[in-house]
Amino acid sequence: MSPGFRAVSRSAPFAMALLLTVPALACAAGTTDDAARALHERIIVLDSHLDTPMMFDDPAWNILERHPPGDGTSQVDLPRMLEGGLDGGMWAIYTPQRGRTLEHMRTARDHGLKRLLQIHRLVAAHPDRFELARSPEDARRIHAAGRRVVFISMENAAPLALDPSLLQFYFDQGLRMLGLVHTSNNDFADSSNTPPEWNGLSPAGRALVAEANRLGIVIDQSHAADAVFDQLLEISKAPIVLSHSSSDEVYEHMRNIDDARLRRLAARGGLIQVNAYGAYLKNTQAAGRATFEDYMQHVLHIIKVAGYEHVGFGADWDGGGGVQGLEDVSLLPKITARLLQEGYTEAQIAAMWGGNLLRVVGEAQRVAAEIAAAAAPQG
Ligand SMILES: [Zn+2]
């Protein structure tokens, strides 16, 4: 916990803005929390993997109410978003991977459409608080208006297995990021957690990537096998994102990524959003619960290897993420404070908290426009 944050006023005094123009390390001891809080409030703070839409099945759960941390319901709600300065992010349509029969495909299709509707209902029910973002420009405008940014993403493309052409419909309904697979192989790609079936992407997976590029949907590699990563870097015309992944170098795990791939990701303009899922951060069975420091070790290492332009945050809130000292989104300013302590500038921290994610969303849309222009009849 960081009681300092809770005590600090949410409005940033103008003097604080001036203070931030000098290097953070020059701040007198005791002012760092104030400075961090003020900075955190000024910038766009986005998380690229919010599993909170899973809560929308529960009629008793209300996003406008504050839920105490550790009560087992959720880690994200509007009061805690405001408290933690979380301006929004990618709200995931997550579908568990069941079997792959026709019946399973139909069930997954219907599940995906239900979640999509529920996310739209959230926005429709609270138009003064939440707004659907279809572009980086939308996100900046929504943030400036003081509303929460709702980008829609998909975790596991199983809802598209029956009819991949549904991707166009999802795009029209706001889908801007697509994760191909979850914890077992599916019709599109191999998972990081299971022995290979396709040695990377299946033919249907390659076609889906091409269609995502054509539409302007960012491809999310998290949960996919390393071979999928390698093939995505080859075939995707737009930079890819790892929406919630951590570092193999800090703690080797099948869900994490090695430094060589991080460097290649960065070279291609891609982005890794660091996951706070405890069991991926360290050997929790041997060493106990992961802590805020364990998380920051992954964050700081990944920044060092990939460069701050290629790093952000996807903590897996409501999907198993959260560690001791970073139990829910109300505590996010701790990350900003820590980055300031490490000497990162406001511009760098702003890039990591949202600028980079918006850049990659915009890049996918730029590539889609290029593809459309190239396909248009000449003359
Ligand atoms: Zn996940």
Q: What confidence score (pLDDT) does residue 113 get?
A: 98
The predicted-structure confidence for 87-133, as pLDDT tens digits, reads as follows 999 999 999 999 999 999 999 999 999 999 999 999 999 999 999 99
Report if residue 316 sits inside a domain. Answer: yes
Distances (CA, A) of 52 to 63, 111, 217, 224, 318: 9, 15, 21, 21, 5
Report if residue 12 sits inside a domain. Answer: no
Q: For all residues of the chain together, what is the average pLDDT?
A: 92
- Rounded CA-CA distance 227/63 in Å is 38
- Rounded CA-CA distance 241/247 in Å is 14
Over 50: is that where the pLDDT of 286 sits? yes
Report CA(322)–ligand 1 centroid distance (Å). 13
Report if residue 169 sits inside a domain. Answer: yes
Report if residue 17 sits inside a domain. Answer: no
Q: What confidence score (pLDDT) does residue 111 get?
A: 98
Report CA(213)–ligand 1 centroid distance (Å). 22
The predicted-structure confidence for 164-222, as pLDDT tens digits, reads as follows 999 999 999 999 999 999 999 999 999 999 999 999 999 999 999 999 999 999 999 99
Q: What confidence score (pLDDT) does residue 136 get?
A: 98
Over 80: is that where the pLDDT of 26 sits? no
Domain at 166, CATH number:
3.20.20.140
| Mean pLDDT on 225-245 | 98
Report if residue 379 sits inside a domain. Answer: no
Report CA(232)–ligand 1 centroid distance (Å). 18
Report CA(179)–ligand 1 centroid distance (Å). 9
Complete DSSP assignment for 50-102: E-GGGGGG-TT--TTS---TTSSS-S--HHHHHHTT--EEEEEEE------SH
Q: Helix or strand or coil: residue 345?
A: coil
Domain count, the chain: 1
Q: What confidence score (pLDDT) does residue 2 get?
A: 35
The predicted-structure confidence for 136-168, as pLDDT tens digits, reads as follows 999 999 999 999 999 999 999 999 999 999 999
* pLDDT interval class at 377 (50, 70, 90): confident
Complete DSSP assignment for 10-65: SSPPHHHHHHTTS-GGGSPTT-HHHHHHHHHHHS--EEEEE-GGGGGG-TT--TTS
Over 50: is that where the pLDDT of 28 sits? no
Q: What confidence score (pLDDT) does residue 33 get?
A: 85
Over 60: is that where the pLDDT of 6 sits? no
Q: What confidence score (pLDDT) does residue 32 get?
A: 61
Report CA(177)–ligand 1 centroid distance (Å). 13
Over 50: is that where the pLDDT of 40 sits? yes
Structure tokens at 303: 């920044």
Percent of the chain with pLDDT over 90: 88
| Mean pLDDT on 35-42 | 95
The predicted-structure confidence for 342-356, as pLDDT tens digits, reads as follows 999 999 999 999 999
Over 90: is that where the pLDDT of 373 sits? yes
The answer for residues whose C-beta is within 8 angstroms of residue 24's C-beta and 6 or more apart is 32, 35, 340, 341, 343, 344, 345
Domain that holds residue 58: 35-372
| Residue showing tokens 């170098």 | 249
Q: What confidence score (pLDDT) does residue 360 get?
A: 98
Over 50: is that where the pLDDT of 5 sits? no
Indicate the pTM of the whole model: 0.91
Q: What confidence score (pLDDT) does residue 278 get?
A: 96
| Residue showing tokens 């980079």 | 356
Report CA(13)–ligand 1 centroid distance (Å). 38
Report CA(244)–ligand 1 centroid distance (Å). 7
Q: What confidence score (pLDDT) does residue 71 get?
A: 72
Report CA(366)–ligand 1 centroid distance (Å). 27
Report if residue 29 sits inside a domain. Answer: no
Report if residue 258 sits inside a domain. Answer: yes
The answer for residues whose C-beta is within 8 angstroms of residue 303's C-beta and 6 or more apart is 311, 344, 352
Report CA(155)–ligand 1 centroid distance (Å). 7
Structure tokens at 247: 């570092």
Report CA(184)–ligand 1 centroid distance (Å). 12
Report CA(50)–ligand 1 centroid distance (Å). 9
Report CA(193)–ligand 1 centroid distance (Å). 12
| Mean pLDDT on 39-55 | 97
Over 70: is that where the pLDDT of 29 sits? no
Report CA(316)–ligand 1 centroid distance (Å). 7
Report CA(243)–ligand 1 centroid distance (Å). 8
Report CA(222)–ligand 1 centroid distance (Å). 7
Higher-confidence position of 19 and 216: 216
Report if residue 27 sits inside a domain. Answer: no
Report CA(318)–ligand 1 centroid distance (Å). 10
Report CA(120)–ligand 1 centroid distance (Å). 21
